[in-house]
Chain A
Amino acid sequence: ELKVEQNPLFLSMQEGKNYTIYCNYSTTSDRLYWYRQDPGKSLESLFVLLSNGAVKQEGRLMASLDTKARLSTLHITAAVHDLSATYFCAVDDITQGGSEKLVFGKGTKLTVNP
């Protein structure tokens, strides 16, 4: 059974600082997604990582994927308050008959303080 673990689960950081969120998963997959969720809202897609070594950047966020280590990182550069949200990584569970359902981590609740 595919398991996805994120850490940390809670992250409080100051504006201007850098930090990294980690996402580990337990079985082979080369498809990983990062989503953002604001309180009471649905999921907003941030990054789609489809191969080993994939790196994508958007603004102050950069995501990477190492399929050999079964690890993805979401790096935050010079955080600003607007980045405060919960961030989820999700992995395609491609082992169950091709459903490609997503298995999510528990999320990292990020708070950026002035």
Chain B
Amino acid sequence: DTGVSQDPRHKITKRGQNVTFRCDPISEHNRLYWYRQTLGQGPEFLTYFQNEAQLEKSRLLSDRFSAERPKGSFSTLEIQRTEQGDSAMYLCASSLKRGTGSYEQYFGPGTRLTVT
């Protein structure tokens, strides 16, 4: 399977703990996006990378959130000092951006975070 993969698929943590999620995009894709989806809502944009550069962050991404894509391949999303409001599905997507063309974003299976 050469689609987008995410790890772990489920994470239960206690409030105040740090968590880290990983996303492996489709191999030739240069763009990688993180979204968050809460129950009954559509996904909301968090941040995106083009290669290793983080080019935009949503105001939803508080100082407790940090994302990296060190070699322009996989990405990690870390949440420090988790709060119950962080409970959500975290979705990663990747796409191929060339020139002015627009290419479809392909989504991974998501990491479901529960903060107790």
Judge whether A63 is part of the interface by a CB distance below 8 angstroms: no
B107 partner residues in chain A, CB cutoff 8 A: 35, 42-43, 45
Given contacts A97-B55, A99-B48, A106-B41, contact A50 B91 (CB under 8 A): no
- Contact string, B84-104, partner A, CB cutoff 8 A, digits 1/0? 000000010101010000101
Interface-centre pick from A90, A100, A107 (highest chain B CB count, 10 A): A100
29 A-B residue pairs with CB within 8 Å: A31-B102, A33-B105, A35-B107, A42-B91, A42-B108, A43-B91, A43-B107, A45-B104, A48-B104, A50-B102, A88-B43, A90-B42, A92-B102, A97-B55, A97-B56, A99-B48, A100-B31, A100-B97, A101-B45, A101-B48, A101-B56, A102-B93, A102-B105, A104-B44, A106-B40, A106-B42, A107-B40, A107-B41, A107-B42
Interface size on B, residues (CB 8 A): 25
Say yes or no: is B21 at the interface (Cβ < 8 Å to chain A). Answer: no
CA distance A103 to B108 in the complex (A): 17
Q: Closest chain B residue to A41 by CB distance?
A: B109
Most chain B Cβ neighbours within 10 Å, of A40, A42, A93, A99: A42
Q: Is B110 an interface residue (CB 8 A)?
A: yes
For the A-B complex with A43-B91, A102-B45, A105-B42 known, give 7 more contacts whose Cβ atoms are closer than 8 Å: A41-B110, A48-B104, A88-B42, A90-B42, A92-B102, A93-B45, A96-B56
B97–A103 contact, CB under 8 A? no
Using Cβ atoms and an 8 Å threshold, which residues of chain A touch B65? none
Known: A90-B42, A96-B56, A106-B41. A101 touches B110 (CB 8 A): no
Q: With a CB–CB cut-off of 8 A, which chain A residues contact B45?
A: 93, 101-103
Report if A43-B48 is in contact (Cβ < 8 Å); known contacts: A48-B104, A96-B56, A101-B33: no
From known contacts A88-B42, A101-B33, infer whether A45 and B106 are also in contact, taking CB-CB under 8 Å: yes
Across-interface contacts of A45 in B (CB, < 8 A): 104, 106-107
* Chain A residues within an 8 Å CB radius of B31: 100
- In contact, A99 and B56 (Cβ under 8 angstroms): yes
How far apart sit A41 and B6, CA to CA, in the bound complex (Å)? 13
